[in-house]
Amino acid sequence: MLFGDHPAAQRVVAEATEQLALTLAQITVLPDPQRIVVGGVMARRSLMQCGGVAFLDAVRRRVPTYACHAVIGHATPVVASELGFDSVAIGGLAAALQSLSE
pTM: 0.64
> Whose CA is closest to 13, among 38, 39, 45, 48?
45
Q: What is the pLDDT of residue 3?
A: 60
64: buried, middle or exposed (CB in 10 Å: 19+, 13-18, 0-12)?
middle
Distance CA 49, CA 65 (A): 26
Distance CA 37, CA 39 (A): 6
Q: What is the pLDDT of residue 52?
A: 64
Q: What is the pLDDT of residue 87?
A: 74
Q: What is the pLDDT of residue 100?
A: 92
Listed as ranges, residues in the chain with pLDDT below 70 are 1-4, 41-52, 69-72, 84-85
- Is 38 in a helix, a strand, or coil? strand
